[in-house]
Amino acid sequence: MPSRGPNEGEKGVAHLPLTRRTMLGAGAALGLAAATGGRARAATPLTVGFIYVGPKDDYGYNQAHAQAAKALKGMGGIEITEEERVPETNAVEKTMESMINLDGATLLFPTSFGYYSPYLLNEARKNPKIQFRHCGGLWTEKDPPNAGSYFGYIAQGQYLNGIVAAHASKSKKIGFVAAKPIPQVLNNVNAFLLGARSVDPSITCQVIFTGEWSLAVKEAEATNALVDGGADVITCHVDSPKVVVETAARRGAFVCGYHVDQSPLAPQKYLTGAEWNWLPIYKDAIAAMQAGKVPEHFVRGGLADGYVKMSPYGPGVSDGARRNADAVKAEMLKGGYEIIKGPLKDNAGKEVMPAGKAYPEKAPELESTNYLVEGVKGSV
C-alpha cells in the first residue's frame, strides 16, 4: 500500500476539474496519471483493467492473476488499473463500465469465472469497441466478437503433483480438499489420483468438499479429517490454499501446492505445486492491441504453452520421484498429453472411457466432467 503525503493528494484534486472536462475524450487517462502522482506517460498508453473476486494477495487464484498484472506494470506504453474483491453480481458490470469510462480502459480482464454470464456479456454488447477477455474458457462463436476467453490445462500440473505424491506417500492414501464438485475441480481431483496411480495402482485419494471457494475453518477441518483418515499427502482446489498447506504441514503431511508457489509456507513439507502462468496470455493480448489487432478470442494451453508451470521440487522429493515426474513433464511439453485414458471406470463402477480411447488435454469433453475416477473416495 504505497502512501503519499496529503500535499500530493491535494495536487491531485487541483487537477480534477480539468480531468472532468476532458474525461469524455481520449484524455481520460489523465485522471489516473494525476492520481498516481503525475507520472510521465506515453502519448496514448493502452489502459488495461484487471478485476479480481478476492484479495490480490491470497496466495492463490487471485494472486496468480495479480502477479502477472504486476509484471506487466514494467512494460512501456501501458497503464494497469486494478480492483479487488469485486463480487460476482451486477456490481462487476459497474466496475467494468467505470474502468472504461473513467480510466479509459480498452482491454479488460475480469478474472473470476462467475463474471462471464450475464455481466461480461452485457458489457461487451454495450461497449463494442472495448475488448473483454475472460478467464475460464466460456466464450463461443455465438458470443460478442469483442469478448473472448482464456484458460490453462492445470490438471496436467495436478497429474504431476500426483506422481510426486505417490512417491512420497507411505500410507498409499492421498487427500484432496475441494471447493465444489464442478468440472474444473473434478478434473483436478481425477488427475491427481491418476498421476499417483501411474506410479502405484493401489493408491487411493479421499476428496472432501467444503462447499465454498474460501472458508478457512472448514478448509482446516477438511485437511485434518483427511490426515486423520490416513492421507499423508494433501493438495487442494480452493481459492486460497494457504490454510490447507499450513494445516497439512503442521500435521506432518506432505503438501502439493495449487495456483501459485506456496513453498515459503511449508518449506520442508512442500513437494511441488501446479501453478498458473498468465503472463504470456496477457502479454500476447496487449501486444495485439498495441499492434492495432484484435486479441485472440480463445486461448487455452497447458505446460507446453507455458500457461501452467510447476513449483520447484521441495526437499521431500526423492530422486526417483524427480526423474519420474520430469519424464512425464517432458512428454506433456510435447503437447496432446492424455490423462483420461481408457479403459477407465468412475468410482461407482461405470465405464467412462473404453479401452483404446482417450481425451487429450484439449478435448472439449473435459469441460463437462461429472465423475470421479475409480480410486477417488467421495461423490459428486
Beta bridge pairs of residue 308: 276
The span of 97-105, 127-135, 140-148, 159-167 binding other proteins (CB under 8 A) equals 97-105
Find, among 279, 8, 308, 377, the residue nearest to 160 by Cα: 308
Taking CB under 8 A as the criterion, which residues in 315-374 touch other proteins? 367-368
Given 40, 43, 129, 170, the residue binding other proteins (CB under 8 A) = 170
Radius of gyration of the chain (CA): 22
Contact 111, 62 (CB under 8 A): yes
Question: What whole-number distance in Å separates Cα of residue 200 and Cα of residue 191?
Answer: 14
Given 27, 45, 114, 342, the residue binding other proteins (CB under 8 A) = 114
In angstroms, give the least distance from the CB of 84 to other proteins: 6
In angstroms, give the least distance from the CB of 330 to other proteins: 30
Q: Rank residues 126 and 357 by Cβ distance to other proteins and give the closer one.
A: 126
- DSSP conformation letters of 322-343: HHHHHHHHHHHHTS--EEEESS
Taking CB under 8 A as the criterion, which residues in 42-61 touch other proteins? 54-55, 57-59
The span of 188-196, 220-228, 286-294, 319-327 binding other proteins (CB under 8 A) equals 220-228
Given 224, 288, 296, 322, the residue binding other proteins (CB under 8 A) = 224
Q: Rank residues 79 and 361 by Cβ distance to other proteins and give the closer one.
A: 79
Given 161, 206, 277, 311, the residue binding other proteins (CB under 8 A) = 206
Contact 164, 200 (CB under 8 A): no
Taking CB under 8 A as the criterion, which residues in 134-163 touch other proteins? 136
Given 133, 134, 167, 173, the residue binding other proteins (CB under 8 A) = 173
Decide: is 219 part of the binding site for other proteins (CB under 8 A): yes
The span of 80-88, 160-168, 188-196, 303-311 binding other proteins (CB under 8 A) equals 80-88
Given 154, 194, 265, 308, the residue binding other proteins (CB under 8 A) = 265
H-type helices in the chain, by residue range? Answer: 6-22, 29-35, 61-72, 91-101, 121-126, 155-168, 183-197, 216-228, 242-250, 279-290, 319-333
CA angle (158 as vertex; 219, 263 as ends), nearest 5: 65
C-alpha cell at 173: 492414501
